[in-house]
Chains A and B, each alone.
Chain A
Amino acid sequence: MNDQTLNLCLLFSSALFCIGLITTLSRSSTILILLGIELMLNSANINFIVFERTQPDVSTSHGTLFVLFTIAIAASEAAVGLALLIALFKHQRSVVIDEASQLKG
């Protein structure tokens, strides 16, 4: 892999991260905020894979294993987040995040 490909991949993952960040900061729907966080985790995974291919440690494959654990954590985060979303919807009949401003149950 040459330098250009490495730079291209790193720019790709940073663009994906920024798209996720803009979504998380700007949208008011809780589902889209969660999906933006998933996208940011995905871009971090891309960096792990790209760097593992560029600077190999021949005896082990730490990058691949780290990505595996990240995917597992992201899956459980999505499950808990969407369950919280459904609980919030049951409570106030809306998923707009600005309206979720009460701590009282």
Chain B
Amino acid sequence: MNATLLITIGVTLISSAVALSLRNLIHSVLLLVITWIGICAFYLIFNAEFIAFTQLLVYVGAISMVALFAVLLTRVAPSTNQRNKQSVTRFIYALITGLSLFSLMAFAVLHTDSPKEKVEALPATVYSIGKELTEEYAPALMITGSLLTLAILGSVLLAAHSPQSKENS
């Protein structure tokens, strides 16, 4: 199990770091798909099958396609020298912030005592998830559903509204 876990973690971290540092946005989104598949494999290693397939459907299937469409719809002619001095300075500040936050979190993780009692968790089955979603979490489920509906309606309205096209036509 440990070798599988290490390979999954390595592939996920490397692909995400490379994806988010590339200049070409299409390559970034396609590499992030590998990251999301790696996270899905991570969930499968930890016996969370339902979450793993939800991750696969939502991220690998839906969000990557939406991001690719956004990249393709907003393409402009590539300008040659975009990396100016300001963006380098900003990258250095961001790197300092991120690395200090990571060292802080790593320090906290490594110096915290883990729980003494070890109980092997029962994996959440689809039956138990469905039962809790329809009983205890039913209001939250309804709120999430209406939120999704409103978000989709709002994004359609936002993307369809174009004040300039009226003036041009």
Which A residues fall within an 8 A CB radius of B? Answer: 1, 3, 5-12, 14-23, 25-29, 31-32, 34-36, 38-39, 42, 45-46, 49-50, 52-56, 58, 60-61, 64-65, 67-69, 71-80, 82-87, 89-91, 93-95, 105
Selected contact of A67 from candidates B51, B70, B102, CB within 8 Å: B51
- Majority secondary structure, B binding face: helix
Question: Considering the complex, which residues of chain B in the window 128-169 have a beta carbon less than 8 Å from any beta carbon of chain A?
Answer: 128-129, 132-133, 136-137, 140, 144, 147-148, 151-152, 154-156, 158-159, 161-164
What residue in chain A is nearest B145 (Cβ atoms)? A72
Contact A85-B74, Cβ < 8 Å, known A53-B46, A68-B54:
yes
* Distance to closest chain B CB from A101 (angstroms): 14
**Inter-chain residue pair count (beta carbon < 8 A):** 211
In the assembled complex, B99 has its CB within 8 A of some CB on chain A = yes
* Distance to closest chain B CB from A86 (angstroms): 5
The complex places the Cα of A94 from the Cα of B132 at a distance, in Å, of 46
The complex places the Cα of A80 from the Cα of B162 at a distance, in Å, of 16
The complex places the Cα of A9 from the Cα of B58 at a distance, in Å, of 23
In the assembled complex, B109 has its CB within 8 A of some CB on chain A = yes
Asked if A83 and B121 make an inter-chain contact with CB atoms under 8 angstroms apart, the answer reads no
In the assembled complex, B85 has its CB within 8 A of some CB on chain A = no
> Quick one: which of B20, B58, B115, B161 has the most chain A CB within 10 A?
B20
Selected contact of B13 from candidates A6, A12, A34, A78, CB within 8 Å: A12
Closest CB pairs A-B (n = 7):
A83-B155, A56-B121, A76-B151, A61-B124, A25-B94, A26-B94, A22-B98
**B1-29 interface bits toward A, Cβ cutoff 8 Å, 1 = contact, 0 = none:** 01001100100110011011000010011
Q: Can you list 24 A-B contacts (CB < 8 A)?
A: A14-B102, A19-B13, A22-B20, A29-B25, A31-B67, A31-B70, A35-B28, A35-B29, A38-B63, A39-B20, A52-B48, A54-B115, A58-B122, A61-B132, A64-B51, A65-B132, A65-B137, A67-B48, A68-B133, A72-B148, A75-B63, A83-B155, A89-B74, A95-B74
